[in-house]
A and B are shown apart, each in its own frame.
Chain A
Amino acid sequence: MVVSMQFHGVQRSLTGTHEIQMTFLKHSRVRDLLEHVKACYPDLPINEDDFLVTVNDNVSTIDHILKPNDKIAFLPHIGGG
């Protein structure tokens, strides 16, 4: 199945793209996607403690089982000025 990883802010700047698509086996989890992204972009700062996982713009977890066409993002915590 194909899922999308979305990049914003610093991640977008470092990867040079807003979104990449990746193919995973059924029952793969967000955790698998994260490992894959880290392998593709070793300089990308994505530490699961520092980010909020969203799947299709809803808060999720690293253990979420991916579904076809899911859009995943790792968002920084924003507390406002």
Chain B
Amino acid sequence: MKIIESLSYNPGKIKGGYTDQILKVDLGSSDISLIKLAPGFKEKYVGGRGYALKLIWDGTSGDTRYDSPENILVMASGPLGNEPRFPGSGKFIVGTISPLTDTFVDSNIGGHFAPLLKICGFDALAISGISNRDVVLIVDADRGVIQIAEAPAADKQTDQGALSYGDVLLKEFSKGVLDENIAAVTNGIGAANTRFGIINSLFYDRRRKRLRCKQAGRGGTGTVMRHKGLRAVIVRSSLSRSGINNPVDSKAVKQAGANLKKVISQADPQQLRLSSWGTPILVEYMNKYHILPVQNYQYGQHPDAKAVFADVFLKRYFTKKTPDGCYKGCNLACAKGAENVTLKHGPHAGRKVGIDGPEYETAGAVTCMGIFDPHFIMEYNWYCDEYGLDTISMGVTASFLMECVQRGYLSREDIGYELVWGNMESVDRLVHETALAKGFGKICAQGVHRVKAWVAEQYVAKTGKALDEVVSELDKFAMETKGLEFSMYITKESLAQQGGYGFALKGPQHDEAWLIFIDQVNKELPTFEAKAKALKWFPLIRTWFNAVGLCKLPWIDVRHPEAAKTENPAQNQPTLAYFVQYLNATVGCNKSLQDVLDDSERLYLLQKLINLRHGKGTRLSDKIPLRAMGPAFFNEYQDRSDYYDEWLADQVGGKEVPKTAEARHLLVTKLREDAYKKLCDAVYKHKGYTPDAIPLPEILEKFDLLDEQAVDLLREFGLLEKKRRLSN
């Protein structure tokens, strides 16, 4: 590789989980700098998402967009990342200004990259600027060097693939010998051509003897990386991972990890069995409870859904009896994969490939397009990974287009072929066209929010109808909020999850709050107050996981046997106690769970401030499509009329319900909209916001967030006068 810039360095040691150093790279000037973090930085911003938020809050402005040179792409683990004695410690966060939402987005991702980055001496990597040519960043602790190199050329097909290119690149870098001491993040041609490009985290699996991948899927982080001209980041260190975090109390770390591993090994086989079935197990339960997003979230169930239940993937595809953790020491090991799958479609048809996945989100995205074919799901999974596309945003955008055809907003002539539910050939074509910026794929590549505007313009031009009216109709089934496509759950029957999506700061992704089961099935949140409390508590604890470098699944999807005896079983606090113990033992503090939640609240509010700065922080930005609240169209009402009629009777409290089904449908949707408004009121009040969803100055002051920028921002929203009165 041709080296453009090189810096020799001595990899610092990790102490108490931190290196206290970040690596900054400006690709515009090829400047590489090692930045020592100020005392107190880690106490205030924790790590992971917290570091990304602070760097972006300070280093960008409200005018920064995804393609601005000053936009920063941050990759950061956290103090608890990289500890093989504790499950799920390979996670890191990629944070940036999103091409979909135009505000902060982050996506968590597993693998060996972040642990190796930390061993190389860095708590975070912050990349700004735009290179005038494609480059690769190398962080090599073994040689003590950080380099920016010209991205090596490859043949056209390899060059387009995040997986293929990564494989060639890493083999070239390591002189043909791959091992666990090398990892990389890469992107593919889809990241260059769409707004929902992903970052792939590649790591060597010595059992499967090939590179595997995990994805930072949401929000277009790969698009940002690619726009900066950065094809890949390679990290290497041959130091042993064990004990290298230098925890303050190693014995207590070991004990906390052993406790959690014991719960996982005993409870998971009795519960979801993620360790052998992976996350596709959820598809069956989603179908049972009408939350599988069939045909763009119109219907929650489908008779063909059983063809894509987890046991099908287990029997036909997944490699069995192979521990599949995405990082060392995780005995939940849910990252399932398959070997030697022969592709039937697309430019790689006939090729045998290893496939990492599918996760349930990918299966859900395919059912969203009305397809229930397991092999198609495997291929869709592989091609999206190879091109570097988010399977969720790709599927939801394609589904929106299909529904536009269903409802007459688009025709075959507009698209060039039949894009209808369940048509695998047309979906396959659209995926390739989207990734490669061909034909109608150029439209799809923009994501639902922008496609909606395009469809409206086309339709108005054809029909002469009023733009406002057309947009209003499209808004009902365009499944996006803040510009991000919904992840794969139907929320029509869970008001709490409507809030879980609507209030999610990055947009409707379930990793901020997943409340469907405790609300819809368990009925544990019967009041607005209970829902509001859950919509504060869960986002805060989930934020913490994204700050410290840990996976949430060992906590949230394996219920501790003692949890049933606690006040809030869904919070699974007996397991959380192990996490707090691990934190205290690693960094040398004595925090309680409430302290952890308080740390998270600071980060959550900082993200809220960034959203306000970028025009995505007020009540208006928490608006969700009608379909997320209830049956947007009559066919959806008819499909679940028994449920809706019962709900309506309960709501009107003995008064007569309308006689016609059409009138009942209208009343249901009106009451659902009213309920969501009431939920907004309750949640904003509980979080210490104004009715327009703006944090009150005293809340920001409590968390020491009222810097000059925040004060200016509050002044814009008319809250500064209030603060002055309070101060007086």
Contact = CB atoms under 8 A, between A and B. Distances in A.
Interface string B552-581: 110111010100100001101000000000
A9 B272 contact: yes
B292 to A, nearest CB: 13
Contact of B271 (A13, A50, A80, A81): A50
Contact of B285 (A9, A13, A51): A9
A46 B282 CA distance: 18
Nearest to B269: A45
Interface in A20-60: 45-47, 49-52, 54, 57-59
B284 A59 contact: no
A8 to B, nearest CB: 6
A8 B285 contact: yes
Contacts of B282: 78, 81
A45 B572 CA distance: 20
B284 A50 contact: no
B267 A50 contact: yes
B100 to A, nearest CB: 20
Contact of B521 (A50, A54, A80, A81): A54
Contact of A81 (B289, B523, B553, B564): B553
A75 interface: yes
B517 A80 contact: yes
Contact of A79 (B267, B277, B514): B514
Task: Determine the main DSSP class of B at the interface with A.
Answer: helix
A50 B559 contact: yes
Contact of A78 (B270, B361, B557, B561): B557
A69 B650 CA distance: 24
B361 A10 contact: no
A28 to B, nearest CB: 23
B537 to A, nearest CB: 13
Nearest to B510: A80
Interface in B4-55: none
Nearest to A45: B270
Contacts of A59: 521-523
Nearest to B515: A80
B550 interface: no
B521 A75 contact: yes
B517 A50 contact: no
A52 B557 contact: no
A47 B271 CA distance: 9
A10 B277 contact: yes
Contacts of A50: 267, 270-271, 559, 561
B311 interface: yes
A29 B570 CA distance: 25
Q: Quick one: which of A8, A57, A81 has the most chain B CB within 10 A?
A: A81
A9 B570 contact: no
Contact of B272 (A13, A49, A78): A78
B511 A81 contact: yes
10 contacts: A8-B284, A9-B272, A9-B285, A45-B269, A50-B271, A58-B523, A77-B557, A80-B510, A81-B514, A81-B552
